[in-house]
Structure 1
Amino acid sequence: MDRVTILPHADWQDRPGLAGLARVLTPARYVGGAVRDTLLGIPVADIDIATPHAPELAMDMLKEAGIRVVPTGIAHGTITAVLESGPVEVTTLRRDVSTDGRHATVAFTNDWREDAARRDFTMNALYADPISGQIYDYFGGLDDLEARRVRFIGDPLQRIAEDHLRILRFFRFLARFGSEPDAEGLAACETRAKDLMALSRERIADELLKLLVAKDAVAVMRLMIERGILLPVVPEIDMAGVDRLAKAAANEAAAELPADAIRRLAALLPADAKINDVVGARLKLSKAQRKQLASAIAPHAFGSSYELSYRIGREHAFDLLVMREDGPALIAQIKMWDPPKLPITGGALVERGLSKGPDVARVLRTVEDQWIAEGFPDAARVAEIADAQVTQALR
């Protein structure tokens, strides 16, 4: 290391109990995302600590200090310390013994460089001393981070062979942190794209959905389609889909909506219910996600954005409207609008003379349709509509 870099202070370092946890595990260092994101000046979500102590010993040390601990992945050296301020993942330094592209067999070590060498990208292999803040960089991660360059540690082809998911992680990190892709890494991902077929579809979906909400998702998705990265696992996505994604992302921004992964996936895919269902099943999306995916392309005839929001719900309305040229303006209309409740019930129609049965539901739907068409008038006007509809039904 040619230079000494100190980790800037950030709010997460003041979390109650964190400093004490690090002291108990000494020698220990913060590692990975917390270090990377702090250097980039962005909020830190998760905190990871690395230590040379074997996991069983680390558990004993924490318990003796009165810190609750859970053996979340003890076979792979990972335990979770549960602090009042939230969980912290603690991992013993490791080296890979064998890998098959999906799983790794590890051995524990006390060599920090060995632990760094098994990580995916240089920007993720940065360690920081909890007390001094000194950063330990074994593979040029600081320079790559400064250049916003996502670069594999060592030979990219070998790193991908160890864990095929690193192909998608390369592009996700490029979309989130990068500027220009590392040429050697990009070439390796293109060469090994078919390796994605060996991964579980849940892992593919998880990475893809995270990528889709990253700041440069459109440009990176375009690059992935150009290089045929997704062809082995989601061949339904093509360049026309990326163009639709660009439109959806631009309209989201114009409407000040947060990026939504399923909404963006729906834009990427052809507006074909069968294709969407096939892709949703293949990626093993949840029922709620598949429902949203289907709703985002379902044809809906509506007179206004208010009617659409009332009939299918505001969030689903956003998914449909975001693909329209006038989408941002229509979204603005309903963004702060709470759909009202129809101020009449079937019972009120029975009181007006209708017999219980299918006629009540039919007339109630007619009343509701007219109420919507008139712009959701008040209860007095709904009563007039109901009177007229019941009179007509009784003729």
Structure 2
Amino acid sequence: MTSLLPEADWTRREDLAALVGALGEGNARYVGGAVRDTLLGLPVKDIDIATRLLPDAVIARLDEAGIKSVPTGIAHGTVTAVLAGGAVEITTLRRDVSTDGRHATVAFAEDWREDAARRDFTINALFADPASREIFDWFGGLADLESRTVRFIGDPRERIREDHLRILRYFRFQARFGSQPADDASEKACAELADTLKGLSRERIGMETMNLLGLPDPAPTVARMAQLGVLAVILPEADPGALAALVAQEHRQKVAPDALRRLAALLPPDVPLAEQVAARFRLSGAQKKRLALAAAREGHADAARPLAYRIGREAALDRLLIAGADIAPLEGWDVPQLPLRGGEIVARGVGAGPEVARVLRAIEERWIAEGFPGRKRVEQLLNEAVAR
């Protein structure tokens, strides 16, 4: 029985139909995430098209149809069509010539199945004809979608040896789509070849790990990665139990998932270590600072609002949620600024320099302790401080 791709908003796009028409009959098929997510009833973000046409022919046909194209990955056969409804990537069918676990040398192909065979998981190797919506499934991807099984195409070890990052991709897809029990052969291969992750760039490891941590509930998957010895390769300092506790707090207090906060929860309260991990994952300066602030949580017991005033709202939310504390006091509350400047203290006769800073700090501490009162009370605090 022929399976059909359900109709969805994106399949009705007129600009997409014009693109498919420009490529010519029989030269285009939808592939990958758009097909998979539509079958699962999920929103589709990115649309990818596989084609038998060579990149130069794709560009020529789009030009002829008045469709703007960008050669975003021309060496690997990818051309991006710039459409009103959103960009679409068009990639020429390929086959692997050689792989080393990090990079692949590819050659263009003409066979749809050959292109599908080089992909990672069965649920990502589904093609659909734009005109008939017929689905092409050579490796059991439809059945795996039905059972929520994430499974490598063919021999899992061979797929991983082609690209070591597929180990982390497996766990990300398992966290997003998978059910239990997981595919035994896939898990065994990931455990057996976990050490191959050491050969990848830290940036690739960091990006894939953060993508995993940003999913609705990655805690069970991260715990499984620890059991299989995979987590120890990429983040030996991690405590999966702390992540599970944080995710529970996020759900209880209705807080959106945040990958960086979850990374902070996995790490012990050790600032130098947090900075090392930030460097290892090639995080930005702002991310490194936030991770360090979360790691400085040990021994600090400020209430929610004073904490937010001292370290910022976002960092305070990190610490409070990791500690299992209530964040309700911060809801709808804007962090205030102390309505007092050093010049006002000097104008009261206090000599400029360290004494002004001391008086300002003393007033600020009383202002925080009293719950951030308004300007009138700050003036009273200033009078008291100058009188002393």
| In structure 1, distance between residues paired with 2:344 and 2:254 | 42
Moved more, 302-311 or 255-264: 302-311
Shift of 1:275: 2.1
- 1:182 counterpart residue number: 183
| In structure 1, distance between residues paired with 2:286 and 2:178 | 31
- 2:316 counterpart residue number: 317
Moved more, 147-156 or 301-310: 301-310
1:368 to 364, 369, 377: 364
Q: For residues 376-391 of structure 1, what are the structure 2 equivalents within 5 Å?
A: 376-391=372-387
CA contact (8 A) 1:95 1:118 kept: yes
Shift of 1:210: 1.1
**Counterpart of 1:137 in structure 2: which amino acid?**
D
Report Cα offsets for 1:256-305 as digits up to 9, x if no partner.
11111111111112222222222222222222221111111213635421
Q: For residues 1-395 of structure 1, what are the structure 2 equivalents within 5 Å?
A: 3-15=1-13, 17-26=15-24, 27-180=27-180, 181-237=182-238, 241-299=239-297, 301-325=300-324, 327=325, 330-392=326-388
| In structure 1, distance between residues paired with 2:197 and 2:380 | 62
| In structure 1, distance between residues paired with 2:12 and 2:345 | 62
**Counterpart of 2:328 in structure 1: which amino acid?**
A
Report Cα offsets for 1:89-131 as digits up to 9, x if no partner.
1111111111111111111111110110000000001112222
TM-score by length of 2: 0.95
Give the superposed CA RMSD.
Answer: 1.5
Shift of 1:243: 0.7
Shift of 1:69: 1.1
Shift of 1:86: 2.2
Report Cα offsets for 1:177-212 as digits up to 9, x if no partner.
000211111111111111111111111111111111
Report Cα offsets for 1:38-70 as digits up to 9, x if no partner.
111111121111111101110111122111111
**Counterpart of 1:31 in structure 2: which amino acid?**
V
**Structure 1 gap ranges (5+):** none
| In structure 2, distance between residues paired with 1:63 and 1:365 | 66
Q: Structure 1 residues 386, 14: CA separation in 2 closer, same or farther (over 3 Å shift)?
A: farther
| DSSP 3-state at the match of 1:43 | coil
Report Cα offsets for 1:338-365 as digits up to 9, x if no partner.
1122222222222222233332222222
CA contact (8 A) 2:33 2:124 kept: yes
**Counterpart of 2:87 in structure 1: which amino acid?**
P
Q: Structure 1 residues 302, 268: CA separation in 2 closer, same or farther (over 3 Å shift)?
A: closer
Moved more, 375-384 or 358-367: 358-367
| In structure 2, distance between residues paired with 1:369 and 1:85 | 54
**Structure 2 gap ranges (5+):** none
Indicate the percent of aligned positions where both proteins have the same amino acid.
Answer: 56
Shift of 1:324: 2.1
**Counterpart of 1:292 in structure 2: which amino acid?**
R
**Counterpart of 1:191 in structure 2: which amino acid?**
E
| In structure 1, distance between residues paired with 2:262 and 2:344 | 43
